[in-house]
């Protein structure tokens, strides 16, 4: 798998990069909200 951020982000590469970025952000936000719920108990 290619390293993200290397090479031109055009066409398919750009959409793949954005999808990967969005998925990572979603995972981080979900993890943070879950840990906050656990610690607030």
pLDDT beyond 50 at 39: yes
User: What is the model's pLDDT at position 29?
Assistant: 94
Q: How confident is the model at residue 7 (pLDDT cuts 50, 70, 90)?
A: low
Q: Which two tokens stand for residue 22?
A: 């969005």
Q: How far is CA 23 from the centre of its chain?
A: 4
Query: Can you tell me the distance from the alpha carbon of 13 to that of 37, in angstroms, rounded to the nearest whole number?
Result: 36
Band of residue 19 on the pLDDT scale cut at 50, 70, 90: confident
**Ramachandran category for residue 7: left, alpha or beta (phi over 0 → left; psi -120 to 50 → alpha):** left
pLDDT at 22 over 80: yes
pLDDT score of 9? 57
Q: Helix, strand, coil shares of the chain as percentages rounded to 5?
A: 70, 0, 30
């Amino acid at each position: 798998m290619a390293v993200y951020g290397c090479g031109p982000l055009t066409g398919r590469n750009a959409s793949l990069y954005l999808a990967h970025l969005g998925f990572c952000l979603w995972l981080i936000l979900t993890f943070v909200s879950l840990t906050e719920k656990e610690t607030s108990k």
